[in-house]
Structure 1
Amino acid sequence: MAAAPRAPDNDNCHHGFDEGAADELDCLRGVLAPRLLQQAEIRARELGIGADQVLIRLGMIDEAAYLRLLSRHTGMAIDDLSECDRSDVMLRDDQITYAAASGLVPLHRDGERIMVIAPRNYSARAICRAKRSINIDFRLTSDYALRRFLLQEAAAPLIEESTRGLGLHDPAMSAAPAFAAARPWRGRFKRGAAVFAIATLPPFLFPAIWGAMLAVWFLAFTALRLATCAFLRQRHAAAPVLDDQLPNYSVIVALYREASSVAPLVLALEALDYPREKLDIILVVEPDDLQTRAAIARLGTKPHLRMLVAPAVAPQTKPKALNWALPFARGSFTAVYDAEDRPEPGQLRAALKAFRAHGREVACAQASLCIDNETHSLLSRMFTVEYAGHFDVMLPGMTAMGLPLPLGGSSNHFRTAMLRTVGAWDAYNVTEDADLGFRLARFGYRSVAFPSTTFEEAPLHLDAWLRQRSRWMKGWLQTWCVHMCHPVRLWREAGGRAFFTLNIVAGGNVVTALAYPIMLYAVIDHMVFSRSERSIDWATALHVAAFAAGCISTVALGGLGMMRRRRLRDGWILGLTPLYWICLSTAAWRAVWQFIWKPYHWEKTEHGLATRRTTDPAPRLSARRSQRQPHR
């Protein structure tokens, strides 16, 4: 397998380098109060990072001001990289992402070799201790200057990596178009011909066999869902992670037309029970979304929060925005959230506990998603029950069974190095999360569900729900086509469990929705229009069994999920399951049409329309954080 290049560790220096005094504070003696420096050193020892990072990330001193003082103290020059261009960088295009991740840029300028470093973690301490023995010409730069330089002078390889990186490393793993944009009709013709051949010829030539295959597929899908109900959510014992052992944690959120969601989102992320000095929040916006950019600017300067503007190139999708941010992620772990998310305060620590409990081969930990709308429509109520069954029952059950997980699009927690290894997200897949779950399995990695909740907002109206669900169905279809394009290779790389899980879950989600009208017609025809003396044939019996099993599995999964959420009083909505499936089938057929004509079109889901429960975790954490942070 042609794996994507593996990125180095995110920090300039080793995490364990914490011996002795905080020499990086020497340049601040006489500038900041001695008590503040003492508190910063104590806090740095507690967290296992440099004391300079404590002061900078808490806003006690500006990074540029600290670099000026460090430069004067060490004699090391500051280089803002304004006089450099791409030809000065001693890195190939495929190595540019390493510079963004590590904060190190090797230059060759005026016949000299220069190493420019944006200090992170213990870098400043190492520089102070080695200032008299460094032979190479080291220069200091700020993180902002480094990022500006890379985005200006090395934008082309970063754009290529964010849009077609996966396709370049392994084309068979990506849903990217195989034909040039100037000839889109060829791709449409191929997709249309494939859909026509699969959906029309077998039913016409072998109607009974085709109908039986659909019913069996439906039964297999419902059987897997019922099987997951037998597993209780496992509580793995793992030692709590102490503050000095906590890694840097990046949080990436892709935003588009979410100006009203920015302030509540940042408030929720800042309420996470995680040291602010080790939290790295990246908000990615689109170039034409001026309102969201203005909303972020109104938040003011926050050392732990950065905004990146995604490039104005196709496709304009969430996975492309996530790929654009990933090279700049400083964390050893990376979490992905959506604009409307409200994660529980302890989620990052709970994710780390799950990684420790399940072993080093786990690349992703998936938290549960829960709908918290208070202004419910019938659709949003059904959405709530559906999420409870999927995230609180099915995914934990699949984890216990050792199956690959169809990841949700939010509250995914990754080992950053492993995420980079597998090629990150497919910018052309509109359900990049589900695709990534199966791709991780093909690389030998595991995904697990863990008990922590992120609260989300469900669509209230049919048109919004239909757009969102059609995109999901289209993405499932893309994912199935990509991984089943070479079934023998899939079996060899991922094994039989992953092979059948892909076909039952990814294929089953679409096929069952498409086939539902056929089975519903067979059931109604037998129960209403058939004569009483007419004996039931085997095909009709199979359709009736599939319909009944589907209803039973949906009620069992949703009811058990709502019971675990202690909201069983809302379970009455499951009585509308047959009608809800008609909506799902409509979305699936709409997705097939879009798969042919607009395969990479991302239909935006509007947020901020519903009244939600007011759960502000910040006050509970304020006292604890005030004890941890250094005081003036």
Structure 2
Amino acid sequence: MSVDPDIPGAVAAPAAERPAAPRPSPRAGHRFATSGDAALGAVLTNGGAVAPADLLRARGRAALLGRPLGEVLAAGRMVGGAPLSVARRRFAPPADLPLAPLALDPAGVAEGLAASGRAMPLRASGPVVPVALPHPEDWPRHAAALRAELGPCRPVGASRGALRLARAGGPAEAAARHAERRCPEADSVRSLGAPAVPALALAAATLVALALAPLAVLGGAALALLLAGAVLRGLGLAAALRTAAPARTRAPGPVRITMLVPLLREDRIAQRLMRRIEAVRWPRDALEVLLVHEADDHVTARALAAARLPGWARAVAVPPGGVRTKPRALNYALGEATGAIVGIWDAEDAPEAAQLETVAARFAAAPREVACLQGRLAFYNPRESWLTRAFAADYATWFGLVLPGLARLGLPVPLGGTTLFFRREALEAVGGWDAHNVTEDADLGVRLHRRGWRTEIVDTETLEEAVARPWPWVRQRSRWIKGYALTWAVHARRPRVLWRDLGPAGFAAFHAHFLSGIGVLALMPPLWAAILWRWAATGAAPGPALGGAGALWLGASGVHVAGQVLGAARSGGRARPLWVLAGLLTFPLAVAATWKALWEVAVAPFWWDKTDHGQALPEGAGPI
């Protein structure tokens, strides 16, 4: 394998907050066909396995993309797997299985090749070291460097899967540990310890105030948080309404894209997922799809094996570790990705056909500091229940208006968990995802902004599955709220540094966004209890202060409802304005989810309460 092609227009971070440049990738190689590629092509054409015209086209693509010829032939389905395997035996005999990796110098060339899956030196009984290669025709590229480091060597053939399994007993475990700690400790939830003295002092003062004037404290805090959220949402809506979406353009040239698809216990969705990805337009020799699952998730592994993956898609098994979260799996898979653009789809996603074309073109035309593109999310089952109708209206507003408005204002953008696309250099510079944060997407959006990168909302849509039943809805929402609470705690613990990184407007927007929803929902039960207790104890009618607070409450709530009505009206039929009424009925569920989340912050902060997928089919998808 060889060097990744650069993204057109991709550059380093803005000078004001430029991260340290990442070290050169161990995957680096040269871009042009070697004598080994030419020899492989000759063997295949002489045997009638590939047409001369196809070979000529494949050699041109291999040179353009910087990929091995055999990989391009297989990805483009110009030659079958069996003829390719037979041809490769002309260059090296197959290795004896199972493979036994040789202990290597972590800083050496051989370890870099093994980590990238290009070549793996094996233990041997004699003086000559066998080197397993998935592309034995590449041996001339690596022979001199390996012989200089290891002494006498000879090539043997082995699949990339066999090489990955061989590393599972050692280096893969080290990679799994690195995936857990890739995010800098100062930015990670794992570094949260006992509450600091200022936090304890604030908690003590709050308890004293509640004892003296519970209704005033609870009501004032809830109203302040509600107004802060309403102001932020209103500003975002106004900015989005006066901003035109960037015009779609064609990508100027091929760029390799890696899509990470995290899976967990997905026994019903693997075949549907591959059919949806097959419908996406992008050259297959410039596309890599990594289907990421836990090593002990045998349900998903069997489903992927039955799906008969094409050459441009492969399963990546994540070794066990200290936590079991989606961001940890993404960090591990990032180490195996080869694309200059790295994107994420979820298991139930149905992206539009032109999505990768739109993303590549926008990255090429975007300003230099744009590191992330967030696509819109909608649902393919919005009419399944009253909950899905409420969800559809909420998403139409959030992804159609609020997030574009925040991006337009230059404020931190809390990302969604899917249909995300990154310049790989930016993603690696900030340390990937926080493996201990259950809303790794929103946290990553803040960290990118703090390091001087920007996020844009790109004009492409992905359909996914809305949760249709109350208890799964509460479980999913509680995971989001827990992650929001932990994200706020991580970034807010050093307020002066946060102020410096985000600026006054970004600082205020951060607190308004992450605290308003959690605080209002958490304060509702004790606030209503205090109101009812006062009414029952005194029988007094509401005074002017309480009436004024109620008017402000209705006004702030009206901003939220009006935004949802507008978002639904502009959704192109994905939602209906009347569906906003269903959203009002979710308030008790949201309160329950909030208290569940706050309890888990204390007892199980890293636990991932998984949402089950595959309950509904995309419109027109048909059965498996």
> 1:241 aligns to what?
251
1:204 to 200, 203, 211: 211
Supply the distance in 2 between the matched residues of 1:342 and 1:383 (Cα, whole angstroms).
Answer: 17
Structure 1 residues 98, 352: closer, same or farther in 2, change over 3 A?
Answer: farther
Normalised by the length of structure 2, the TM-score is 0.82
Instruction: Tell me the equivalent position of 1:601.
Output: 607
Q: Which deviates the most, 371-380 or 20-29? A: 20-29
Please tell me whether the aligned partners of residues 88 and 108 of structure 1 are also in contact (alpha carbons under 8 angstroms). no
Determine helix, strand or coil for the equivalent of 1:454. Answer: strand
Q: Tell me, yes or no, if structure 1 residue 88 matches structure 2 residue 104.
A: yes
Query: Which residue, 331, 335, 340 being the options, matches 1:332?
Result: 340
1:319 Cα deviation from its structure 2 partner: 1.3
Decide which of 422, 426, 434 is 2:442's aligned counterpart: 434
**Is 1:493 matched with 2:508?**
no
For 2:171, the equivalent position in structure 1 comes to: 154
Instruction: Kindly indicate whether residue 70 of structure 2 is the aligned counterpart of residue 52 of structure 1.
Output: yes
Per-residue deviation at 1:435? 0.8
Counterparts of 2:274 and 2:217, CA distance in 1: 54
Is 1:472 aligned to 2:480, yes or no? Answer: yes
Is 1:273 aligned with 2:291? no
Cα deviation for residue 494 of structure 1 reads: 3.4
2 CA distance for matches of 1:191 and 1:285?
A: 41
Q: Which amino acid aligns with 2:609?
A: E
Of the three residues 188, 192, 198, the one matched with 1:174 is 188
What CA deviation, in whole Å up to 9, does each residue of 1:350-397 have, x standing for no partner?
112222232232221111110121552211111111111111111111
Task: Determine the C-alpha separation between the residues in 1 that align with 2:131 and 2:306.
Answer: 36
Question: What is residue 415 of structure 2 aligned with on the other side?
Answer: 407
Spell out, residue by residue over 1:478-532, the C-alpha distance to the aligned partner (whole angstroms, 9 max, x if none). 1000111112122223333432222111222311322345677799999999999
Do the aligned residues in 2 keep the contact of 1:366 with 1:413 (CA within 8 Å)? yes
- Shift in alpha-carbon separation, 1:155–1:22, aligned structure 2, 3 A: closer
Q: Contact 2:50/2:79 (CA < 8 Å) preserved in 1?
A: no
Q: Distance in 2 between matches of 1:566 and 1:460?
A: 22
Q: Deviations over 1:141-161 (max 9, x none)?
A: 653344233333312311211
Q: Aligned partners of 1:133 and 1:310: how far apart in 2? A: 30
Q: Where in structure 2 are the equivalents of 1:68-467 lying within 5 Å?
A: 69=87, 72=90, 85=101, 87-91=103-107, 100-101=115-116, 103=118, 124=138, 127=140, 136=148, 142-166=159-183, 170-176=184-190, 197=204, 200-204=207-211, 207=214, 208=216, 211-230=219-238, 231-232=240-241, 234-237=244-247, 239-242=249-252, 245-373=253-381, 375-467=383-475
Moved more, 460-469 or 576-585: 576-585
Question: Does the 8 Å contact 2:176/2:320 carry over to 1?
Answer: no
The answer to whether 1:546 aligns with 2:556 is no
Within 5 Å, which residues of 2 pair with 1:467-616? 467-517=475-525, 535-537=543-545, 540-550=547-557, 552-567=558-573, 570-614=576-620
CA distance in 2, matches of 1:280, 1:253: 11
Cα 1:348–1:140 shift into 2, 3 Å: farther
Q: Which amino acid aligns with 1:541?
A: G
How far apart are the structure 2 equivalents of 1:269 and 1:278?
A: 14
Q: Greater shift after overlay, 250-259 or 202-211?
A: 202-211
- C-alpha distance in structure 1 between counterparts of 2:144 and 2:446, whole Å: 51
Cα offset for 1:127?
Answer: 4.6
Amino acid aligned to 1:204? A
* Distance of aligned partners of 1:251 and 1:30 in 2 relative to their CA distance in 1, 3 Å threshold: closer
Partner AA of 2:188 in structure 1: S
CA offsets, 1:194-247, max 9 Å, x none?
Answer: 9965864553356535643432222121111112222245332464115xx222
Change (3 A) 1:196 1:487: closer
CA contact (8 A) 1:115 1:139 kept: yes
- Match of 2:460, SS state, is strand
- In structure 2, C-alpha distance between the alignment counterparts of 1:360 and 1:408, rounded to whole Å: 22
Q: Tell me, in whole angstroms, the C-alpha distance in 2 between the residues paired with 1:547 and 1:607.
A: 37
SS in 2 for 1:259: coil
3-state SS of the aligned residue for 2:484?
helix
CA deviation after TM superposition for structure 1 residue 40, in Å:
3.3
* Contact 1:373-1:611 at 8 Å conserved across structures: yes
Say if 1:522 and 1:543, in contact at 8 Å, map to a contact too: no
- 1:191·1:595 contact (CA, 8 Å) conserved in 2? no
SS at 1:459 equivalent: coil
Distance 1:132 1:611 in 2: 53
Tell me the amino acid that sits aligned with residue 410 of structure 1: T
Distance 1:4 1:528, change over 3 A: farther
Matched-pair contact (CA < 8 Å) for 1:10–1:332: no
1: CA distance, partners of 2:390 / 2:23 = 42
**Distance in structure 1 (CA, Å) of the matches to 2:368 and 2:156:** 35
The residue type paired with residue 545 of structure 1 is L
Report the equivalent of 1:13: 29
Give TM-score, length-normalised by structure 1.
0.81
Q: Say if 2:569 and 2:576, in contact at 8 Å, map to a contact too.
A: no
* Alpha-carbon offset, residue 18 of structure 1: 7.6
Q: For structure 2, list consecutive stretches of 5 or more residues without a partner in the other structure.
A: 1-16
Cα distance, 1:403–1:219 mapped onto 2, change above 3 Å: same
- Tell me the distance in 2 between the aligned counterparts of 1:34 and 1:339: 35
Gaps of 5+ in 1: 180-186, 617-632
Name the Cα RMSD after superposition.
4.2
Partner letter of residue 278 of structure 1?
A
More displaced stretch, 20-29 vs 268-277: 20-29
Q: CA deviation at 1:463?
A: 0.6
Cα separation, 1, equivalents of 2:540 and 2:391:
38
Letter in 1 for 2:104: D
Letter in structure 2 aligned against 1:314 = G
SS state of the match for residue 328, structure 1?
A: coil
Mark the CA change 1:195 to 1:308 in structure 2 (over 3 Å): closer, same or farther: farther
Deviations 1:425-468 (A, max 9, x none): 11111111111111111222112111111111111111100000
